[in-house]
Structure 1
Amino acid sequence: MTTASGTQEVATEPSRAEARNGFDEINILWISEGMSCDGDSVSLTAAGQPAIEDLIQGLVPGLPKVNLHNKVLSPSLGGEDFLAPYRAAIRGELAPFILVIEGSIPNQNIIQGEGYWTSFGNDPGTGQPLTLNWWIDRLAPKAWAVVAAGTCATYGGIHAMAGNPTGCMGLADYLGWDFKSEGALPIVNVPGCPIQPENFMETLIWVLYHAAGAAPAPPLDHMLRPQWLFGKTVHEGCDRAAYYEQADFSKDYNSPKCQVKVGCWGPVVNCNVPKRGWMAGIGGCPNVGGICIGCTMPGFPDAFMPFMDEPAGGSLSSILIKPYGAVIRRLRGITNIAVNREPKWHHNKPVLTSGYDPHWRP
């Protein structure tokens, strides 16, 4: 372009490295004072791809330096020493940070008079407990990203079931499903009761790469779950799925066959645990003889109870699959017998009977 003095300037595009707009250091403020059992924090310690230790020691290439504040994993002495970074974040003195919430969010508004459902530290001035809701109201608007860890935090879980006195809900119900963080991200929901450790770490790593300016925002589905982790059903990754196709169903929990008729909800539940395993690729509910009870789903537990009963649609679907399955099973059995025989020319006789014909020779 031409300047006021008449000289020519050439506009240049910034290089990819120069255009990078990320953070070199970031804090993770993890609050597990929601209504929960702390099982998600405990499960996190089983991650291995990468391990949480690798993350906080800076052993994952390309990530910002991570300062993790979690009561299960913290070397802090506790009390105000542990609360210091949380209070600093509220004052605007600790940024950027990722807020991780573990446990469902109670409804403080239904309490008439004094009392609270769950708290995290005390007010220095009054000495009164500070509720989880108080912290979320002040930290979430300042957070660069907000992550809900586990089904309790994502959709309410056990504490939000019908008849509960707490009015519990998931984080998106509390903050609003259209909530956007300082980093312009929606809430990132990683359900699981508890979280599958690799699922959570993989999601957190993606968010951190995004914070570093090295990756786009993680793709989420309509329930704010990572699409690549929760886009398939349990059934699609289950070792027992072929038995369903053949209408070969378990009558008890000792059988290796499909468990739909003894209470498994796998065909309709979004979860990758049978495919991924639980720890180091091993385990996962149907893989070890358990049924899927839908613990990653928004309707858990109410929509899946009673747990040991056949799912509502299981009876009809198993009836419809029976004629097809019986035919397929029989045909496969016939073919199996045929291919379980050696060819007749495998013998030690003096005559070659393989059909070998050297027709190209004179």
Structure 2
Amino acid sequence: MSKKRCPRGIINSTFKRIENNSLKKINLIWLEACGCSGNIIALLDADTPDVPYFLTQMVNMTYNNSIMGAEGERAFEKFLETLDTEFILIVEGAVTSRDNGLYNIVAEYNGKPISGAEAITLAAGKAKYVLAVGTCASYGGISAAKPNPSLSKSIPDFLTTKVIRIPGCPANPHWVISTIAHLISYGLPELDSDGRPLFLYEETIHTNCSRRSFFDKKIFATKLGDKECMFNLGCRGPITRSDCALRKWNDRVNWPVEDNTPCIGCVNKGFPDEMEKFINL
């Protein structure tokens, strides 16, 4: 399908086709590995569709470390039961590889601690699709930043199976929902060389930035709070590919540049180490 298809249109058409019984909801495992849980928190802030609608009308979230009702071994049993069904695996957070993943334990089952690395390996081998959500899962991110004492690594570096990257710190919930909708309705989206959906990550933030006219006229801000282009203050918009300037956050209320904050390139490979300094003063 065309990489130009509108994410909102993908979401709406998928909901409609599920409602008309021409498509079925799919099971979803959302594993939180080594990270801050920022992506599942961002998902809870989603709107149009909101989380209750997403979780009841598009997917059956059978397992998540933070928001599922079951606890302890019963929670992990739900995880194991899902492995025998058709499901999508989402992983947020990097994988800790030091000491056999000891520094990220996601469950205890039959007296044995289950590491994030073990759970990811189990699920990825049976999942229909695997999504690395957030920059830590996609590229290692803050979890794998220097000096990286836990030897954390990205999901694509950890697994040998195909992984769709949805980077962001955190990932915009609409990026996640529209990608899942695409997988349900149309299958695998067209991906860039990094494994990111082109309908989300093709154009740079700079392309659609509300301050682009200042850049074109070489009018630059000299301090934070100025209304002009923040390129000279360290903005990473020209080298960062995502639709933040169009999608915005909190149901299109705002985004960093309109809040007088330079883009820090959080969706990029190498964030944060290769994106510093975020602000040049």
Correspondence 1:1-362 to 2 at 5 A? 24-32=24-32, 34-58=33-57, 66-76=60-70, 78-90=71-83, 94-108=84-98, 111=99, 116-124=102-110, 127-176=111-160, 179=161, 186-209=162-185, 215-309=186-280
Which gives a bigger RCO, structure 1 or 2 (Cα 8 Å, sep 6+)? 2
Give, in angstroms, the shift of residue 252 of structure 1: 0.5
Question: Partners in 2 of 1:67 and 1:259 — Cα distance?
Answer: 41
Q: What TM-score do the two structures reach when normalised by structure 1?
A: 0.68
Structure 1 pair 71/239, CA: closer, same or farther in 2 (3 Å)?
A: same
- Note if contact 2:235-2:264 (Cα within 8 Å) is conserved in structure 1: yes
Question: Partners in 2 of 1:68 and 1:204 — Cα distance?
Answer: 15
Partner deviation per Cα, 1:165-188 (whole Å, 9 max, x = no partner): 112111001113xx2xxxxxx311
What SS does structure 2 have at the residue aligned with 1:306?
coil
Give, in angstroms, the shift of residue 68 of structure 1: 4.1
Give, in angstroms, the shift of residue 71 of structure 1: 3.3
Structure 1 pair 49/206, CA: closer, same or farther in 2 (3 Å)?
A: farther
Give, in angstroms, the shift of residue 283 of structure 1: 1.2
Look at both structures and tell me which one has the larger radius of gyration over its CA atoms.
1
Amino acid at match of 1:240: R
What SS does structure 1 have at the residue aligned with 2:245?
helix
Give, in angstroms, the shift of residue 53 of structure 1: 1.4
Question: Partners in 2 of 1:292 and 1:216 — Cα distance?
Answer: 31
Question: Partners in 2 of 1:234 and 1:148 — Cα distance?
Answer: 21
Give, in angstroms, the shift of residue 236 of structure 1: 0.7
What SS does structure 2 have at the residue aligned with 1:146?
strand
Q: What TM-score do the two structures reach when normalised by structure 2?
A: 0.87
Give, in angstroms, the shift of residue 115 of structure 1: 7.6
Give, in angstroms, the shift of residue 220 of structure 1: 1.1
Question: Which protein has the bigger strand share?
Answer: 2
